Amino acid sequence: MSTKGSSTKYKKWTFNLRHYDYAGIFFISLSFASMISTGIFAIPLISDFVLNEKFDWFEDWNNLLFSITSALGCIWGIMAHSQFEFVTKLIRNTWNSCRKLDPLIGEYDYKTLNPETNQMEDGYVYHSLVDFWDRENEVPHWLDKGKYWKFFLELQKINKNVKLEVVKDINLPFKMGKGNVTAILKKTDNGNQMTNKNGSRTEDVSIFQIVIPQWLVMNTEYKRFNIFSQSEINTITSIVSEVNKNTPRIIDEIIFNQKPALKNSGSIFTSLYTYLNKSLPIRIVYGRVKEFLPGAKKRQIQYTNENLSRLPLDYLIESILIKSKTLGIKETSLDKLYSITEFLKKEYDKLGLGEGSSEYHNLHHSLEVAYMSLNMLPSEIHGYSITNKDYEIMLVAALLHDYDPAMGSSSHYDLKYSRVPTVASTMAEIKKRKIHEAYFQLSPDELRKFFRKYESPFVPAKEFATTHPEMLDGKSNKTESKIIEALIWRTDYPYNENAYNNFNQLLKEIDVEEISVEKINLIAEILSLADLSVTYLSSDPLLAWNRVVKLYEELDFPIVEAVSRTDRFLSLFSEGSLFKDIITRKNFPEAFRQKWNNVYQFFHEGNPSNKINNLILNAKTKYDKVNMDAMTINCDFLITNALKNKNEYYIAIVRNKDEIINTQSKLAGHQIDNLEILPGNSENILPFIKDKAVDNFIITLFCDKSKKMINRENILRNLLTAYSSKLSQEGTIQIVIENDVELKRIIPLISEHDYKITESNEMILTKVNNPEILFDSRPVKIITIQNLYKNTNNRNFNSNNFGSFDNNA
């Protein structure tokens, strides 16, 4: 295929609040006009009816028709006005809340390098140079990667050729003029028009650039607001919860508004269709009554299975109650379960972990575990019949297993401040408040009183705002409470000695009361599996990756190991007989099973150890030698050698973004099949390479005193020591230097680690430019070294001096 040069065309659409304001004014005016019209035409009919006069179809049908039409117009106007007014208030209130959290949001300066033009552009845009979740993909501190990625994926479902740009408020503008919330720029480049081999032309390539304000993807992570005093933090958490709850709604509204423009290249008619569609009473009414239609609960469960990780809290709670009812849990218990979830909603909101929270251990996670455990525990397993009481006990334990208010009550200035719940703290809290005991000992009405807060006789009581453990004074502890405590201890991860001892001690106490301990142990293990696997059973691969990153950040694990460690974690799961037994059962939801397979494949294929080793394995079957540049700082050397040595394969690990862009532009002018560019950090990639896989490592050293020079020397030192096992039997290391100064610095390093120089060459380094190759007279030296014990000849030559080491080898 070929391209033909031509001009570039631009079109623009906006979603602005002024148009919604106009629509709201129009529909409220319509409702008033229709109300007056209804009165004018209906009054004569009413008077005839009151006076018992006979209805005359020939004379009164016009009045009846206009009365009905006007009444419907009045209803339409009121309902449509409420829709538009709700959205405008939602957006403006959310913007105000964001400004309260961060007064500078919407005013931050940020520029992104555009690889196509090689120019810095205002705002943040993801250009796909590296994986979005890669550590190398740096984003502004005020931007939430999860919110940006969710928005980006939703847009790509409509049109693949989209770019999402985050700009300052004034660039839209948002607070001035029409109040643009988003703008769509359609760029049609006729220069990218393609022609097939037969000469026929294809359609022009159009790129949609979606421009949004900074506050819409604002980073609301709790650690950003640790600077606030303890007295202010409760207000801050409530604002954070409000912003997190409103942001998905605004994104959904933007998608709804801009979808016609992205699909049909919007016009005045598509805009009119959007506003009419939003205002239609039948659509509004259907949204309100669809849950009461036949089969609604079955459809809700199916929808929950397919979208578990993305559901609003209230919808997920309702789904848990529906699922519980299908499993035989009684109505009185459902009322009490609802009370516990309402209490937990307010408790997690205080911590900023409620609706919309992007942290891993939020309320949504606990609700997901609760819902997943109901699906994972079958009615019969390993010879035990599971009763509705068993489901109820497990469900209460799942809801409370991460309840730890203490993680938000410590000093926000403490360097060890953590947002990770601990089972020990959870157990101490629920035993102090006696939440699990109250559930089994109180009636639904009494449990509501248990959670009710009385502040003053003159102020209405607050529902689900506190606990009253004194209501249980004098009442003996029930067995169910001990079982719940045991189940929660079993969810501790890693399952350490303390959790093990507490779990077994509770089982001993329960065993005396003639309850099947083996059955409880089985339920506890399934709850633990639900807790550990819910992210991978309920999410698409990219969302699962986002949540894994959040988890690693909370646990302070190295994110660079997230993929490989998660891959091993999932492999262990797949090999576990109980987990395999559960997910392969016929009654286990197919949606969860499919997501598990997709996520497992994502992490398995994305595992650096699998990716890099598959690349090397394929290269070894086609080429004589595999060369790897451990830290590419200049691609000219590799491109020159790849063009020269067609029978050898070259792999370049490139960390610097500018060099990635530079390399891609140079490769565009050449057909080089034996060169692969891997974006990333060599320190994260080299450990995963299999032993004896690489024939030759390459590292370039330049004479400078920068930190980069020190890093390159560290890489060389690691190649000589920790990564020497990655070299094949005859493997070598090539060190590219500019002069003898570097050589003098590395000679002691080479001899210290039992390597010797086998070859030294000089060459003129070619500077490759696209589309031509120009030569830059830059002499370099290539020093080839080899381990004394790997080469057979060297081993024989040094057998007298190094015989004992050789035997160990």
Q: What is the pLDDT of residue 802?
A: 28
Confidence of residue 281 (pLDDT cuts 50, 70, 90): confident
The CA distance from 187 to 91, in Å, is 28
Q: What is the pLDDT of residue 203?
A: 53
Largest CA distance in the chain: 128
The CA distance from 460 to 600, in Å, is 51
Determine the Cα angle at 81 with ends 78 and 85, to 5°.
140
Task: Find tokens 């699998």 and name the residue.
Answer: 610
Closest CA to 544 of 562, 526, 522: 562
Burial of 639 per CB tally in 10 Å (0-12, 13-18, 19+): buried
Radius of gyration (Cα) for the chain, nearest Å? 33
Task: Give the relative orientation of helices 388-400 and 517-538 as an angle to the nearest 10 degrees.
Answer: 60
Q: What is the mean pLDDT of residues 774-800?
A: 61
Give the up-direction half-sphere exposure of residue 712: CA atoms within 13 A in the CB hemisphere: 25
Q: What is the mean pLDDT of residues 460-482?
A: 91
DSSP element (H, E) containing 550: helix 541-555
Higher pLDDT, 376 or 705: 376
**For the residues of 128-185, what is the DSSP string, one character each?**
-SS-TTSTTS---TTB-HHHHHHHHHHHHHH-SSEEEEEE-GGGTTSSSTT-EEEEEE
Higher pLDDT, 698 or 197: 698
Q: What is the pLDDT of residue 5?
A: 46
Q: What is the pLDDT of residue 136?
A: 63
Say whether pLDDT at 786 is over 50.
Answer: yes
Residue 71 vs residues 34, 136, 280, 602, 715: alpha-carbon distances, Å: 6, 60, 15, 56, 79
Q: 779 and 762 in contact (C-beta within 8 Å)?
A: yes
Closest CA to 323 of 334, 335, 312, 307: 334
The CA distance from 320 to 312, in Å, is 12
Of 313-327, 433-447, 791-805, minimum mean pLDDT range: 791-805
The CA distance from 307 to 299, in Å, is 12
Q: How far is CA 154 from the centre of its chain?
A: 13
Amino acid letter, 626: V
Q: What is the mean pLDDT of residues 126-148?
A: 77
Residue 395 burial (CB count, 10 A) = 27
Q: What is the pLDDT of residue 500?
A: 92
Say whether pLDDT at 130 is over 70.
Answer: no
Confidence of residue 801 (pLDDT cuts 50, 70, 90): very low
Q: What is the mean pLDDT of residues 45-67?
A: 70
Q: What is the mean pLDDT of residues 702-720?
A: 65
Q: 712 and 661 in contact (C-beta within 8 Å)?
A: no
Task: Give the relative orientation of helices 296-307 and 313-326 as an angle to the nearest 10 degrees.
Answer: 120
Say whether pLDDT at 798 is over 60.
Answer: no
DSSP element (H, E) containing 64: helix 57-101
Q: What is the pLDDT of residue 174?
A: 85
Say whether pLDDT at 195 is over 50.
Answer: no
Say whether pLDDT at 787 is over 50.
Answer: yes
Backbone angles phi, psi at 330, to 5 degrees: -70, 160
CB burial readout 223-241, b (16+ within 10 A) else e:
ebbeeeeeeebeebbebbb
Amino acid letter, 704: D
Q: What is the pLDDT of residue 133?
A: 62
Say whether pLDDT at 166 is over 70.
Answer: yes
Closest CA to 630 of 706, 565, 689: 689
The CA distance from 397 to 606, in Å, is 35
Say whether pLDDT at 601 is over 80.
Answer: no
Cis peptide upstream of residue 260 (ω within 30 degrees of 0): no
DSSP element (H, E) containing 112: strand 111-114
Confidence of residue 753 (pLDDT cuts 50, 70, 90): confident
DSSP element (H, E) containing 643: helix 636-644
The CA distance from 181 to 253, in Å, is 11
The CA distance from 648 to 652, in Å, is 13
Q: 578 and 526 in contact (C-beta within 8 Å)?
A: yes
Is 695 strand, coil or helix?
strand
Q: 342 and 464 in contact (C-beta within 8 Å)?
A: yes
Q: What is the pLDDT of residue 38?
A: 86
Confidence of residue 740 (pLDDT cuts 50, 70, 90): confident
Q: 789 and 802 in contact (C-beta within 8 Å)?
A: yes
Say whether pLDDT at 559 is over 80.
Answer: no
Amino acid letter, 724: S
Beta bridge partners of 143: 218
Say whether pLDDT at 186 is over 80.
Answer: yes
The CA distance from 182 to 187, in Å, is 16
Q: What is the pLDDT of residue 216?
A: 93
Backbone angles phi, psi at 483, to 5 degrees: -65, -45
Determine the Cα angle at 258 with ends 256 and 262, to 5°.
120
The CA distance from 489 to 492, in Å, is 6
Say whether pLDDT at 766 is over 80.
Answer: no
Closest CA to 233 of 357, 99, 104, 352: 352
User: Over the chain, what is the mean pLDDT?
Assistant: 81
Say whether pLDDT at 795 is over 50.
Answer: no
Q: 136 and 680 in contact (C-beta within 8 Å)?
A: yes
Q: What is the pLDDT of residue 161?
A: 83
**How many residues are present in the chain?**
809
The CA distance from 63 to 68, in Å, is 9
Q: What is the 3-state secondary structure (H, E, C) of 705-719?
A: CCHHHHHHHHHHHHH
Of 165-169, 570-574, 648-652, minimum mean pLDDT range: 570-574
Beta bridge partners of 121: 112
Q: 369 and 531 in contact (C-beta within 8 Å)?
A: yes
Amino acid letter, 286: Y
Q: How far is CA 410 from the centre of its chain?
A: 28
Q: 125 and 163 in contact (C-beta within 8 Å)?
A: yes
Task: Give the relative orientation of helices 740-752 and 707-720 as an angle to the nearest 10 degrees.
Answer: 30
Most confident region among 44-53, 350-359, 487-496, 768-777 by mean pLDDT: 487-496
The CA distance from 380 to 391, in Å, is 12
Q: What is the mean pLDDT of residues 204-231?
A: 77
Closest CA to 344 of 313, 383, 387: 313
Confidence of residue 61 (pLDDT cuts 50, 70, 90): confident
Cis peptide upstream of residue 294 (ω within 30 degrees of 0): no
Residues with Cβ within 8 Å of 148's Cβ and at least 6 positions away in sequence, in order, are 126, 139, 164, 166, 217
Closest CA to 437 of 390, 395, 398, 469: 469
Percent of the chain scored above 70 by pLDDT? Answer: 81
Beta bridge partners of 676: 651
Q: What is the pLDDT of residue 115?
A: 77
DSSP element (H, E) containing 401: none
Confidence of residue 443 (pLDDT cuts 50, 70, 90): very high
Confidence of residue 519 (pLDDT cuts 50, 70, 90): very high
The CA distance from 73 to 95, in Å, is 33
Of 440-449, 581-590, 720-729, 742-751, minimum mean pLDDT range: 742-751
